[in-house]
Amino acid sequence: MSDIDIPEDHPRYESLLTRHRIEDGVDKGITSRQGLIAQGRGETFDYLLGERTIPSAAAAERAAAAYLLLAEHPVLSVNGNVAALVPGELVELAEATGADLEVNLFNRTEARMQAIVDHLREHGADEVKGLTADGRIPGLSHERAKVDSDGIGDADVVLVPLEDGDRAEALAAMGKVELVVDLNPMSRSAQSATVPIVDNIVRAVPNITRHARELATASREELQRIVDEFDRDEALAAAEQAIREGGED
Ligand code: ATP
Ligand code: MG
What's the per-residue H, E or C state across 145-186?
Answer: HEECCCCHHHCCEEEEECCCHHHHHHHHHCCCEEEEECCCCC
Amino acid at 169: E
Q: What is the pLDDT of residue 249?
A: 58
DSSP letter, residue 110? H
Q: What is the pLDDT of residue 248?
A: 60
Atom number of ligand 1 nearest to Cα 182: 30
Taking the C-alpha atoms of residue 236 and residue 246, their distance in angstroms, rounded to an integer, is 14
Task: Please give the distance, rounded to the nearest whole angstrom, from the Cα atom of residue 164 to the centre of ligand 1.
Answer: 7
Taking the C-alpha atoms of residue 126 and residue 137, their distance in angstroms, rounded to an integer, is 25
231: nearest Cα among 76, 55, 52: 55
Q: Which residues line ligand 1 (CB under 6 A)?
A: 38-39, 41-42, 45, 162, 164-165, 181-184, 187-189, 200-201
What does DSSP say about strands 146-147 and 177-181: parallel, antiparallel, or unpaired? Answer: unpaired
In degrees to the nearest 10, what's the CA dihedral of 117, 174, 200, 187? 130
- List Cβ neighbours of 132 (8 Å cut-off, separation of 6 or more): 148, 149, 150, 151
Taking the C-alpha atoms of residue 226 and residue 79, their distance in angstroms, rounded to an integer, is 28
Q: Of the residues 17, 140, 180, 184, which should be mutated to test ligand 1's pocket, given the most ligand atoms within 8 Å of the CB?
A: 184
Name the CATH superfamily housing domain 55-245: Phosphopantoate/pantothenate synthetase (3.40.50.12640)
Q: What is the pLDDT of residue 11?
A: 76
Taking the C-alpha atoms of residue 99 and residue 89, their distance in angstroms, rounded to an integer, is 13
112 contacts 32 by C-beta, under 8 angstroms: yes
Atom number of ligand 1 nearest to Cα 186: 3
247: nearest Cα among 48, 57, 45, 12: 48
Q: What is the pLDDT of residue 247?
A: 61
Mind listing the pLDDT tens digit of every residue in the chain (249 residues)? 445 677 888 877 888 889 999 999 999 999 999 999 999 999 999 999 999 999 999 999 999 999 999 999 999 999 999 999 999 999 999 999 999 999 999 888 999 999 999 999 999 999 999 999 999 999 888 788 999 999 999 999 999 998 888 888 999 999 999 999 999 999 999 999 999 999 999 999 999 999 999 999 999 999 999 999 999 999 999 999 999 987 665
Find the length of the chain: 249
Q: Of the residues 14, 33, 46, 187, which should be mutated to test ligand 1's pocket, given the most ligand atoms within 8 Å of the CB?
A: 187
Atom number of ligand 1 nearest to Cα 200: 28
List CB-based neighbours of ion ligand 2 within 5 Å.
165, 187, 189
Minimum CA distance residue for ligand 1 atom 14: 38
Q: What is the pLDDT of residue 2?
A: 47
Q: Classify 83 as helix, strand or coil.
A: helix
Ligand nearest to the CA of 162: 1
